[in-house]
Structure 1
Amino acid sequence: MLAIRARTIATFVLSLYVAFVFVQSLFFKWTGSEESVFIFATLRDWSGIGLFEPFGRFFIGLCELAASILLFVPRARIWGAGMALAIITGAIFFHLFTPLGVEIKGDGGLLFALACGVWLASAAILLIQRREAMALLLTIRGLLRHDGTTAH
């Protein structure tokens, strides 16, 4: 019983952290703050994909909001954690492997550190709820089978 309570509390605290980071960044993404525009314009210029700014900025914000909401719906928490992990893996990739870099406009690497924290928290939620996550993955695998049969 104590272990179940500890898992519940840990999952809630981790979900709060992820949602806090994602939701507080929405204001900046959706209002076109200088830092957000700089980030997505840098990715646009580097990749040559014009949709990064402003469409990508709005879309990523929407995905972050959806993940944040799902984290607090017990039956959808795994989806929220998976979405958060996917989104933040992309963010970390762009920080590390593009001209964007780890430090953005003199922030001392704060955005990158927050992203790493979100990655760890999302992964921890999936680890804590690994039985449910594995069941979901097996269900998805069964749906994606090419021969039309389902996995048992």
Structure 2
Amino acid sequence: MNKNLITILKAIAAIIMLQTLFYKFSAAQESVELFTKLAGENEAYMRIGTGVLELIASILLFVPKSVWFGALMTIGLMSGAVLGHLTKIGISHNNDGGLLFGSAIFILIVGLIVLFKERKNIPFIGSKFS
């Protein structure tokens, strides 16, 4: 896959993750409602913790030696988001027509593509992909 296309996909995924941080960190009502469905009275810890991890993953996607780890974090975070939508939140949240769920699916796929592309750089096991 073309390196420029990978960069564009990473940028789109990072922008989506970063733009949600405002809602998570400012305790926007939509974000509080969503994380309350997931974590109950511990929603603030999960909301802010998820935001911090998404910020780190977004940065690591562009740090040359850590792209693989950023992709792995992205996969883990978005797998959790997809699972949360399928089990507790629902596909459509707050009448968004499934936009948040679709975004999580898209970012998960980008994470998988980037990790596959970076598989040779994964410490200890990357050499097995040569």
How many pairs were matched up? 126
**Residue 125 of structure 2: SS of its match in structure 1?**
helix
Q: What amino acid sits opposite 1:32 in the alignment?
A: A
TM-score by length of 2: 0.90
Structure 1, unaligned runs of 5 or more: 140-152
The reply to whether residue 64 of structure 1 matches residue 51 of structure 2 is no
Aligned to 2:78: 88
C-alpha distance in 2 between matches for 1:34 and 1:104: 12
Aligned-pair CA distance for 1:55: 1.0
Aligned-pair CA distance for 1:137: 5.2
Q: What amino acid sits opposite 1:103 in the alignment?
A: S
* Root mean square deviation of aligned Cα: 1.5
**Residue 92 of structure 2: SS of its match in structure 1?**
coil
C-alpha distance in 1 between matches for 2:82 and 2:96: 16
The reply to whether residue 138 of structure 1 matches residue 87 of structure 2 is no
Amino-acid identity (%): 33
Contact 1:70 1:80 in 2 (8 A): yes
Aligned-pair CA distance for 1:138: 2.3
Aligned to 1:111: 100
Contact 1:104 1:111 in 2 (8 A): yes
Q: How does 1:3-152 map to 2 (within 5 A)?
A: 6=2, 8-45=3-40, 50-51=41-42, 53-98=43-88, 100-133=89-122, 136=123, 138=125
Aligned-pair CA distance for 1:62: 0.3
Q: What amino acid sits opposite 2:37 in the alignment?
A: T
C-alpha distance in 2 between matches for 1:15 and 1:109: 22
Contact 2:61 2:68 in 1 (8 A): yes
**Residue 54 of structure 1: SS of its match in structure 2?**
helix
Q: Determine which structure has more spread, i.e. the larger CA radius of gyration.
A: 1
Structure 2, unaligned runs of 5 or more: none
Runs of 4+ deviating beyond 3 Å: none
Aligned-pair CA distance for 1:79: 0.6
